[in-house]
Amino acid sequence: MERNLKLTIAYDGSAFHGWQRQQGVRTVQEEVETVARRVLRHPLQVVGASRTDAGVHARGQTAHIHTTCPIPAENLRRAIGQRLPADIGLVHVADVPLGFHATRDARRKLYRYRIHNDRRRPVEGGRAGYAWHIWVPLDAGRMQAAANVLVGRHDFAGLASAGSPRWSTVRTVFAVHVCRRFDTIVIDVVGDGFLYNQVRNMVGTLVEIGRGHWPVERIERILASRDRRDAGPTAPACGLTLEWIEYPPLRSYADGT
């Protein structure tokens, strides 16, 4: 009998060329598929919800696999998880309706960005590889004021990098929270989906405002012009983590594809 398995996956993106399978480079999707095929003993595709870029981390990436293997989900989690490389963790495996699709059915995603805002290097606090180091002081209050303008349904063309064409550049951002925790600034962005490098470009723009280079009103100009040149630099991938992905209740899915 055919089954649909929902996987929750965590990984350190430092040594990966992103999630999506690409020839000649190491990717998370290929590593998971290789191990899953070995355990399940049939051809398969691991369909991921979010195509995280090279160097981006995840704590709550979601994927699904179709299989006819009868092994219980928890046993499969252990069998697959213990064979994965050390920089990938299989957090959870569950049977879901056949109609569930990890990519198409995602409602909201939370990306978290960490900035180490101190003269000391991140390695001194055990944060090397997981935060963008900015030496100059940042004003988190100004950054939050600018972030508030990003909330809502907008055309985010001015905050998207070239390289991943989409039929529309309109997206909904439900919340952007900027919070200082001692020497770390944490930026949480919740949206229904994101354009290529959108979150990292948002962070780079907020940093320019936080350091006083630009006024808070710069965000309005970027949204109105839809011109990437008006926005800030692309923040480094190392500070970004996909925290979670939200789906409709499983009972709302039809039992079929």
Instruction: Enumerate the active-site residues.
Output: 53
Is 253:95 a contact under the CB 8 Å cutoff? no
Structure tokens at 121: 């290097």
Collapse the DSSP code of 29 into the 3-class scheme (helix H, G, I; strand E, B; otherwise coil) and give the result. Answer: helix
Q: Residue 171 in contact with residue 192, Cβ under 8 Å?
A: yes
The token duo for 139 is 């004003």
Query: What is the enclosing helix (H) or strand (E) of 199?
Result: helix 198-210
Residues 6+ apart with CB under 8 A from 78: none
Nearest one of 202, 106, 192, 194 to 150, comparing CA atoms: 202
> Across-strand partners of 176?
189
Beta-carbon contacts of residue 245 (< 8 Å; ≥ 6 apart): 49, 50, 60, 61, 62, 102, 106, 108, 109, 110
